[in-house]
Amino acid sequence: MTLMPRSMQGRLLVLTLGLVASVWLATALLTWSDARRELDELFDAHLAQAAALLVVQAQDIDEAHEVDAPTLHRYAPKVAFQVFHEGALALHSANAPALPMVPPDGVFQAGLRTVSIEGVEWRVFAAMGAERDVQVYVGEVISSRESVLLAVLRSTLWPMVVALPLLALAVWWGVRRAVAPLRRLGRVLAERRPQTVEPVVLDDVPSEMQPMLDALNDLFARITTLMESQQRFTADAAHELRTPIAAIRTQAQVAQGEPDEAFRHHALQATIVGCDRASRLVDQLLTLSQLEAGALPAAGPVDLAGVVRHTVAELAEQAIRKEQTFELDADEACLVAADPVLLRVLIRNLVDNAIRYNSARASVKVSVARVADRVRMIVEDSGPGLSEAARARLGERFFRVLGSGQSGSGLGWSIVRRIAGVQGATLRVDSSTALGGLWVEVEWPAAGQNAG
Confidence of residue 443 (pLDDT cuts 50, 70, 90): very high
53-75: pLDDT as tens digits: 777 766 665 554 555 445 445 55
Helix, strand, or coil here: 353? helix
Residue whose C-alpha is closest to residue 13's, from 179, 148, 256: 179
Q: Which residue has the higher pLDDT, 243 or 39?
A: 39
Residue 176 confidence (pLDDT)? 81
The pLDDT of residue 155 is above 90: no
What is the DSSP pairing of strand 88-93 with strand 65-67? parallel
Q: Could you read off the pLDDT of 277-303 as tens digits, one per residue?
A: 677 667 666 666 666 655 566 678 899
pLDDT of residue 297: 63
**Residue 218's closest CA among 207, 229, 226, 228?**
226
Asked if 112 contacts 124 with a C-beta cutoff of 8 angstroms, the reply is yes
319/382 Cα distance (integer angstroms)? 13
CA angle 304, 310, 311 (to 5 degrees): 90
Predicted pLDDT at 258: 74
| pLDDT score, position 68 | 46
What's the pLDDT score for residue 229? 67
Q: Which carries the bigger pLDDT value, residue 219 or residue 397? A: 219
- What pLDDT, in 10s, does the model give residues 215-229? 888 888 888 877 776
pLDDT, the chain, mean: 77
Residue 242 has pLDDT above 70, yes or no: no
The fraction of the chain above a pLDDT of 70, given in percent, is 79
Q: How far apart are CA 151 and CA 240, in angstroms?
A: 93
What pLDDT sits at residue 276? 74
**Domains assigned to the chain:** 8-165 (3.30.450), 210-290 (1.10.287.130), 297-451 (3.30.565.10)
Best mean pLDDT range from 181-185, 366-370, 423-427, 436-440: 366-370
Q: pLDDT per residue over 198-213, tens digit each?
A: 888 877 777 777 888 8
Cα–Cα distance measured from residue 38 to residue 34, given in angstroms and rounded to the nearest whole number: 6
Q: How confident is the model at residue 11 (pLDDT cuts 50, 70, 90)?
A: confident
Say what the pLDDT of residue 402 is.
41
- Amino acid 452: pLDDT: 43
pLDDT at 376: 92
Coil vs helix vs strand at 2: coil
Condensed to tens digits (0 to 9), the pLDDT of residues 307-363 reads 999 888 888 888 888 888 888 998 888 999 888 878 888 888 888 888 888 888 889
- Burial (CB count within 10 angstroms: exposed 0-12, middle 13-18, buried 19+), residue 311: buried
- Tens-place pLDDT, residues 28-61: 788 878 877 877 777 777 777 777 777 776 666 5
Q: Between residues 12 and 234, which one has the greater pLDDT? A: 12
User: What's 199's DSSP letter?
Assistant: P
pLDDT confidence bin for 368, thresholds 50/70/90:
very high
Would you state the pLDDT for residue 367? 93
Distance of CA 422 to the CA centre of its chain: 26
Q: Report the interhelical angle of 180-191 vs 142-178 (nearest 10°).
A: 30
pLDDT at 407 over 60: no
Position 40 scores a pLDDT of 78
At residue 298, the pLDDT reads 66
Report pLDDT for 450: 44
Amino acid letter, 137: Y
Parallel/antiparallel/unpaired status of strands 88-93 and 79-85: antiparallel
Nearest to 113 by CA among 324, 122, 104: 122
Is 313 within 8 Å of 326 (Cβ atoms)?
no
> Residue type for 420, please?
A
pLDDT of residue 288: 61
Instruction: pLDDT band for 274, please (50, 70, 90 cuts).
Output: confident
CA distance 300 to 423: 10
